[in-house]
């Protein structure tokens, strides 16, 4: 994805939490093309920890939250551990995001998305960026992923769910080469007023 050369800074002047997660995960790839879940140390995530989560792919189902930072709980106003990751989205987006997340484990690839939540009384408009980075389990299967979320706006009254998809991108890991500079998969960039129903994953 080329993020290794990008240093994003948020409005407070600190390192963007998703950039922090990306660099941490990419550094773990010195040991293996896909890092192991057991190598992820919460303490090493520093200020990005509240923004982070670990998800587990379910056989015949959508990934579920296993370990969750406080921000995910704040969005829904409850403990989301054990809940499907798609709980963060409106019903109309769940199938699309679920299929896209399959590529994190199957390609494997890095998935990023930009989403928004329509405002209402007590809950102002909210936008977010999400990232999911594949991880290996103890059986050497890619069944886990390190996730992260960065918000722009106030959460307000909960639960908050994202109902508009702005961008969706997945980048394969280039057959295990750390540079991840291989062919790009999935490019969907769409205005919230005109979301396409065509297949959103394609090789280019």
The span from the CA of 196 to the CA of 164, in Å, is 12
Say what the pTM is.
0.80
pLDDT digits (tens, 9 = 90+) for 21-32: 999 999 998 867
Enumerate the domain spans of the chain.
8-189
The span from the CA of 113 to the CA of 100, in Å, is 10
* CATH annotation of 8-189: 3.30.450.20
Whether the upstream peptide bond of residue 159 has omega within 30° of 0, thus cis, is yes
Triad 12, 130, 107: Cα angle to 5°: 140
pLDDT at 22 (0 to 100):
94
The span from the CA of 49 to the CA of 171, in Å, is 24
pLDDT digits (tens, 9 = 90+) for 72-97: 999 999 999 999 999 999 999 999 99
The span from the CA of 108 to the CA of 20, in Å, is 21
111 falls in which pLDDT band (50, 70, 90)? very high
């Amino acid at each position: 994805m080329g993020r290794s050369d990008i240093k994003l800074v948020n409005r407070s002047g600190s390192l963007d939490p998703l950039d922090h997660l990306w660099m941490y995960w990419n550094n773990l790839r010195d040991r293996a093309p896909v890092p192991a879940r057991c190598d992820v140390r919460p303490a090493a995530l520093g200020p990005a920890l509240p923004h982070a989560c670990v998800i587990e792919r379910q056989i015949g189902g959508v990934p579920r939250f296993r370990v969750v930072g406080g921000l995910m709980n704040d969005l829904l106003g409850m403990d989301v551990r054990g809940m499907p990751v798609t709980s963060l989205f409106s019903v109309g987006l769940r199938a699309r995001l679920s299929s896209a997340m399959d590529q994190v484990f199957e390609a494997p690839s890095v998935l990023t998305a930009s989403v928004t939540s329509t405002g209402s009384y007590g809950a102002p408009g909210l936008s977010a960026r999400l990232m999911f980075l594949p991880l290996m389990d103890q059986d050497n299967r890619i069944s886990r992923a390190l996730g992260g979320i960065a918000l722009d706006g106030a959460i307000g009254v909960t639960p908050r769910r994202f109902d508009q998809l702005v961008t969706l991108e997945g980048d394969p890991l280039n057959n295990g080469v750390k540079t991840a500079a291989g062919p790009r998969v999935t490019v969907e960039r769409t205005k919230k007023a005109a979301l396409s129903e065509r297949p959103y994953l394609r090789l280019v």
